[in-house]
Amino acid sequence: MLLVETSTMSKRLHVEPWLSDVELVAWMQEARSRQAYQRRLAVWLAYLEPWPAHRIARALSVSEPAIWKWLGQYNRGGPTGLQRQGRGGRRWGFLSLEQEAALLSRVQEQAGRGQVLTAKHLLPQVRRAVGHEVSLHYVYGLLRRHGWRKLAPRPRHVKADPAAQEAFKKGRRRSSKMP
């Protein structure tokens, strides 16, 4: 039986020389959070030792893609490249918040006159304002963002008798014990 050793040769990590050895150690040690320290330590380990990414990932208890991502951020942007910026923001907003508020202020006049407004009624106006097709879901999100909510009277049956309902409520004995 022939045994063949399979080695997983991974791509060698490269760290751009943004900082000297001493500056790199000081930068690593002045991290303010655990996450920042972990990222800086990954850069330092890649710079210090010729370890593959999977070994650094195992040592830091993170995924290998995280190591590649952090080293890429450091290599492109230097020490400030590792400062995490949250994604945040409205990436899929077709109108700014001010434009949406202006559109709803025009619609609010109709609502003030007692006209019934639903998202389906607003859909054509929103499509005109945006300039292309939008879904009904987008209109519902727009209304929710600006604090609009459904205000409708509670439904009542046409044959409902309020006096009979009150008499029924008063005539029942409320007991916590089952008969």
Q: What is the mean pLDDT of each run of 10 residues along the chain (179 residues)?
A: 49 88 92 92 90 93 94 92 78 88 88 79 93 93 88 81 88 59
Q: What's the pLDDT score for residue 146?
A: 92
| E strands in the chain | none
Q: Give dist(CA 8, CA 155) in Å, integer.
A: 69
Give, in degrees to the nearest 5, the angle at Cα 91 between 85 and 94.
Answer: 155
Alpha carbon separation from 140 to 34, 126, 149 (Å, rounded) = 40, 11, 9
Q: What's the pLDDT score for residue 6?
A: 43
One-letter amino acid of 68: W
Q: Give dist(CA 100, CA 95) in Å, integer.
A: 6
One-letter amino acid of 8: T
Q: What's the pLDDT score for residue 179?
A: 52
Q: What's the pLDDT score for residue 156?
A: 84
The alpha carbon of residue 77 and the mean position of all alpha carbons in its chain are separated, in whole angstroms, by 25
Angle between helix 53-60 and helix 34-48 axes, rounded to 10 deg: 150
Q: What's the pLDDT score for residue 5?
A: 43
Q: What's the pLDDT score for residue 155?
A: 82
The DSSP H or E segment spanning 177 is none
56 contacts 67 by C-beta, under 8 angstroms = yes
Compute φ and ψ for 10, nearest 5 degrees. -100, 160
